[in-house]
Amino acid sequence: MPEREPMPPKDILDTMLGFLGFGADIQESYDEAGHLTLQIYMNEPGRLIGPHGETLHNLQTLLNRILNSTDPNAPRVTVDIEHYRTMRQDGLLSRVMARAERVRLTGRPITLEPMNSYDRRIIHNAFKDDPELEASSPPGDRRMKSMTIRRRRTGNPHRNDPAGQSNKSEPKVGQ
């Protein structure tokens, strides 16, 4: 029996949405690195985005798991609805960068609100090349984790702490 050609990600997503009772137009686009984004356009985007983007995040996770079940080396696909992720990412980065300026000025780390893995990846990428600040998440497999923004650590453990002591209480910063 010959192997069937796997369904393209756009067709799988369209089928998933159909089973969920959503009619939508799906457009494919590739970024400069060649990563696929499936942009969904529909009448009631809020229903599929869900609170804080959770339903959208779950839809993307499910699509990628389906793709990986047929091809373990399948590239990761981003699912977005009417550019929600882009707008949310811009707002998230704006808030975090404003808080990061406080860390630059005071040297005191801040702890951000718990975030899903997608948002944490955005923050980690925003600080990966920053010579002064770093973003870290606690280890573990919890879905929602807080992140800490602090000055990069150097050889002197007290260099980044203006008081010369470790900072045991870091202020929580809400969204």
Average pLDDT over residues 159-172: 43
Tens digits of residue pLDDT in 118-155: 889 999 999 999 999 999 998 888 888 999 999 998 75
Please state, rounded to an integer, the average pLDDT across all residues of the chain: 86
Position with higher pLDDT, 169 vs 26: 26
Average pLDDT over residues 102-126: 92
The answer for residues whose C-beta is within 8 angstroms of residue 73's C-beta and 6 or more apart is none
- How would you classify the pairing of strands 110-112 and 36-41? unpaired
Q: Which pTM value belongs to this model? A: 0.68
Q: How many CB atoms lie within 10 A of CB 119?
A: 25
Give pLDDT, residue 6. 79
SS3 19: helix
